[in-house]
Amino acid sequence: MPNTISGWRSKLIKPLTPFLLAALALLLGGASVSAQAICRPVYGHIEGRAQEPPICGADFCSIGTFSGAIQGEYVVATTLNTDQPLPDVYFYTGATTATVQIGNRRGTLQIENTGVFRSGGELTELEAIVGGAGDLAGATGLLFVTGASGEETGQFRYEGMVCLP
CB atoms within 10 A of CB 133: 14
- Please give the domain boundaries of the chain with CATH numbers for all domains: 1-36 (no CATH), 38-164 (2.40.350.10)
This prediction's pTM: 0.76
Cα Rg of the chain (Å, integer): 25
pLDDT of residue 54: 67
Strand spans (E) along the chain:
38-50, 60-68, 70-80, 89-102, 105-118, 122-134, 140-149, 153-164
Chain centroid to CA 23: how far?
A: 33
pLDDT of residue 35: 62
pLDDT of residue 13: 39
Instruction: Enumerate residue ranges in the chain where pLDDT < 50.
Output: 1-34
Q: For residue 9, what is the enclosing H or E element?
A: helix 2-34
